[in-house]
Structures are given as structure tokens and as C-alpha cells.
Amino acid sequence: MTTQNPGTTAKRRSVRERLDRLSLQRLRPADLFDAWMFAEADATLAIAAWRAAPRGEKGDAYAAYLAAFDRETHAASVLALRLGFA
């Protein structure tokens, strides 16, 4: 088993974070806003489907809503990060 120097691990993490920031800066805010709006629409439709689902299908509909909500939350977070770099 090899052990890494903690300093080397921190340097790799720092490089990776800088690359992530550069990649994020290349994304257009308008595209990220659109992605967030589409994700929000999906979540809205999913919650409506959950509410309207028959009793035996509520569990699956709720799982679909949670997944849509997670996508919306992620899209909003990415947009917020990108705007923080503007």
C-alpha cells in the first residue's frame, strides 16, 4: 500500500478546483439559466403527477418528484456558482 504525502494530495485538489472553476467560467449563464428553468418545470410537473397519482402509484411518483427536485436544486447551484465568477 502506498501512502501519499498530504501536501501532494492538497496540491492535486487545488489544481482540480482551479480546473473546475475554469470549466465553470466557460459555461454561459443564459444556458445555465435555461437548464434551471427546464429543471424547475420538470419538478413542477412531477409534483403535480405525484398529487394526481392513484394510491398504489404514489411511491413511484414521489420518487420521480424527488429526483426532479434534486436536478432543479443542482441546476440552481451551478448557476449560482457561475454567477459568482462573473
pLDDT band at 58 (very low <50, low <70, confident <90, very high): very high
pTM check: above 0.85: no
Instruction: Name the residue among 85, 84, 80, 86 with its Cα closest to residue 36.
Output: 80
Give the C-alpha separation, 50 to 73, whole Å: 19
CB 79 within 8 A of CB 32: yes
Whether residue 13 lies inside any domain: the answer is no
What's the number of domains the chain is made of? Answer: 1
Whether residue 68 lies inside any domain: the answer is yes
Q: What's the confidence (pLDDT) of residue 6?
A: 61
Whether residue 34 lies inside any domain: the answer is yes
pLDDT digits (tens, 9 = 90+) for 7-34: 666 666 665 666 576 687 888 999 999 9
- What H or E segment, with its residue span, contains residue 6? helix 6-26
Structural domain of 70: 27-84
Whether residue 11 lies inside any domain: the answer is no
